[in-house]
Structure 1
Amino acid sequence: MSVNRYHCCATCKHFQVIKESSRTYHKCERLGYETKSTYRFNCWNPKEHVKKLIEKEARNTSG
């Protein structure tokens, strides 16, 4: 598997879920605007647990 499988806003460390009394929305802390969990940007920076999954899959496919 490749990193592309994980590359989306929901797996980025800058992705936030903001809950207000009237609604819930998703925001990119880095870019400063609303986004959707499935969007992809070149500034993607995976969360630690996602990095570990990517590394584990790379080890399993290389051996």
Structure 2
Amino acid sequence: MKENRYHCCATCIHYRIKKQPRPLSYICARLGYKTKPTYQFNCWEPNKNVQNLLKNNRK
């Protein structure tokens, strides 16, 4: 499988940040797990900005 430099939780459509009093909580809305921005899962779906970057890099 080709390595993708954009593949991480922070660039996924399911990535959510819960703003609690302190500290911030990072969650995968699809899996329901706490996560970190740099984690990678096989269910990754890139958000619109990343989709555009990937499309432009292919050209």
TM-score for the superposition, normalised by structure 2: 0.90
Task: Report whether the alignment pairs 1:30 with 2:30.
Answer: yes
Aligned residues: 58
Alignment of 1:1-63 (within 5 A): 4-59=4-59
Q: Contact 1:3–1:54 at 8 Å: present in 2 too?
A: no
* Moved segments of 4+, more than 6 Å: none
Larger helix proportion, structure 1 or 2? 1
Larger CA deviation: 2-11 vs 19-28:
2-11
- State the superposition RMSD in angstroms: 1.3
Distance in 2 of aligned mates of 1:3 and 1:51: 15
- After superposition, the Cα gap between the structure-2 partners of 1:3 and 1:58, relative to the gap in structure 1 and judged at 3 Å, is farther
Q: Contact 1:27–1:33 at 8 Å: present in 2 too?
A: yes
Larger strand proportion, structure 1 or 2? 1
Identity %: 47
TM-score for the superposition, normalised by structure 1: 0.85
Which is higher, the Rg of structure 1 or of structure 2? 1
- Tell me how far 1:36 sits from its aligned partner: 0.4
Opposite residue 26 of structure 1, the aligned amino acid is: Y
